[in-house]
Amino acid sequence: MRIRHALLSSVAISLILAVPAFAQQPRSAAADRQLNKQDKSFVKDAAEGGLAEVELGKLAQQNAQDAQVKQFGARMVQDHGSANAELTALASGKGMALRQQIDAKHAQLRDRLARLRGAEFDRAYMREMVKDHDGDMKAFRRAAQAGSDPDIKSFAQKTLAVVEQHDKLAHDTSNSLTATGSSHRAR
Pair 99, 126: CB distance under 8 Å: no
Q: What is the pTM of this model?
A: 0.77
Taking 80 as the threshold, does the pLDDT of residue 148 lie above it?
yes
Buried (b) or exposed (e) across 167-186, using 16+ Cβ within 10 A? bebbeebbeebeeeebbeee
Taking 90 as the threshold, does the pLDDT of residue 120 lie above it?
yes
Round to whole Å and give the CA distance between 33 and 39. Answer: 12
182: Cβ contacts below 8 Å, ≥ 6 apart: 65, 66, 119, 122, 123
Amino acid identity at 86: E
Q: Which of 13-22, 49-58, 154-163 has the lowest mean pLDDT?
A: 13-22
**22-28: average pLDDT:** 39
Taking 70 as the threshold, does the pLDDT of residue 184 lie above it?
no
**pLDDT value of position 92:** 93
Q: Is 3 exposed, middle or buried (0-12, 13-18, 19+ CB in 10 A)?
A: exposed
Adjacent-strand bridge partners of 64: 118
**pLDDT value of position 178:** 81
At residue 127 the predicted structure's pLDDT band, cuts being 50, 70 and 90, is very high
Specify the higher pLDDT residue, 29 or 157. 157
**pLDDT value of position 34:** 78
